[in-house]
Amino acid sequence: MKKALVIGVGPLNGLGGQLCRKIAQNNFEVFVAGRTKESLDKVVDTIIKDGNKATPITVDATNEDQIKDMIKEVGLGLDFAIYNVGNSRPGKIIEMDASYFRESWESCCFGAFLFAKAVVNSFLNEKTAGTIIFTGASASLRGKSNFGAFNSAKGALRNFAQALAKEYAENLIHVGHVIVDGGLAGERIKQRLSDFEQRVKEGKLINIENVTDAYMFLYNQSKDAWTFELDLRTSQENW
Q: How far apart are CA 79 and CA 128, in angstroms?
A: 7
* CA 53 to chain CA mean position, Å: 20
Integer angstrom CA distances of residue 195 from 7, 11, 198, 204: 30, 20, 5, 11
At 206 the pLDDT is 84
What's the Rg (C-alpha) of the chain? 17
At 19 the pLDDT is 98
Domains of the chain from N-terminus onward: 2-232 (3.40.50.720)
pLDDT tens readout for residues 133-182: 999 988 788 877 777 888 889 999 999 999 999 999 999 999 999 999 87
Q: How far apart are CA 139 and CA 33, in angstroms?
A: 24
State which residues of the chain have pLDDT below 70: 185-204
What's the predicted TM-score (pTM) here? Answer: 0.94
